[in-house]
Each structure stands twice: as structure tokens, then as C-alpha cells.
Structure 1
């Protein structure tokens, strides 16, 4: 019976996402690139506390997907990192364009495709002494 239930849950994309390592939240002085690297590491290690700290607006998504197949992001490469002036010349927004491989996407974010993906993380700093935090992401 346990085998049948386990197989059924696996078939529907349910997983036991055990945290494999703790990823530290970068210091307030960390660059946007460092924040993105830490987020990807936290994602891969299922460190939901760090994921929530670095991308607070996605807390609900992260918590709802603790038992879904999240996949793995690997071969992260920063392609471009620049001040995003979309919100004005003096805004505190930053865009980090990355390339990464995303595998085992079943039950996860369908915006990703198997293999190398272009992705952009949008970060905001609410003040000069505050840490950068991810506020949005999308296909880059």
C-alpha cells in the first residue's frame, strides 16, 4: 500500500523536498549578482527560508511548492547585470540576465524549458543601506 501511494504521489509530481544545505543570506552590501547566485543555490538546496528572504514576494509560491517537483538550476552564468532605468534614472532597480540549465521541471514553473534558458531577475534596493531583493523574474 505504501509503495502504491508513493508511486502515485511521484507520478503526480509530489516530492519530499528535504533541505540539503543551508545557504546564507548575502550581506546588505552584496551585489545584485551575488543575491541571484545565492537564490539559485538556495533553490537547488531547497533552503526555503533563504529563498523567501531573497525573494519575499514569492513566499506564497515557495511555501505552496515545498512538496512539488521543483527541478534543479545548474550552469548559472551571468550574461548582463545593469541598472534598470525603466522606473526612472534614479530608481533603485537592477536587472540581472542569466543563462542556466533547468532540469526536471515536472510540476514546476512551466516558463522554463529543459536545457539552457535565458532568464532575467529584477531586483530592488529600497534604500542605500538596504539589501538587494528579487522582486520579479521572467524569460530573458
Structure 2
């Protein structure tokens, strides 16, 4: 039986087993490849998306357990209208290899929606678990701070 879900404001029907991870629905069925596979065990954050504004690791959310609207990096902004965080990422030259960046940005967007003026400690706590093998953590923090109301 098809399962209904809304991704980036668009309703979809997918006919897949209930236990298929959301990550694979996004990438393989909906062709939204901005969400990356990293580890498969929710330890790296590369697959972070938002469900009803909450940052989640899509590799660990079963299709049947999706409880609200899904937002991926493709739904956060567009090439012609970047989200403030995407623009800050460019301004602060955050990305090196770039692989983790969509997950980093989705986690940061959830943080700023909950706490528009985070301290450095708040940022570090919220971003903990989103790994960057290139080590651009100071740039990530600077980009988030530049978007925050406390900047």
C-alpha cells in the first residue's frame, strides 16, 4: 500500500516497504541527492534532514515513522534564492570537500529556528554529532553566528 509523505512542500506517494530508511526514499525514489549517506548508523550527520523542523538522521527514520513534513537541503533554498545559512556558508568559505555540508546546514537551520541567538556553547552542543572530516568547525560556528540574531 502506498505511503504518503510531503517533502519540501510537495506531496508524494511511494510504494515501498514500511522499514525503508527515509534517506533511500529521498535519494532513490524522489531523486533528492543533496542528502548524503555517510555512516548508516546516525553517527555522522551527513544525512540530516528536518521533519516538522526537527533535525533528524534520515538513515535511521523508517518510511512508516515519518511524522510530518520533510525538508531537505533542496527545500531550504534555491540557487536563485539561497537560505541565509547557505549564503553564510559561502561567505565564510565553510566547505572544503563539501560532503557533510548539507547535513551541517540542516542541523544549523533547526538550531536557529529553535534558538535565534545561540552562544558558541549552544552551537557546539547542537552541532555535536555532525562530523566534518575536513575540520571546518570554526568556520561552521562563524557562519552560524553571522546568521544569528546575536551577530
Give the shorter-chain TM-score range: under 0.3
Larger Rg: 1
Structure with more of its chain in helix, by fraction: 2
Structure with more of its chain in strand, by fraction: 1
Give the TM-score normalised by structure 1.
Answer: 0.28
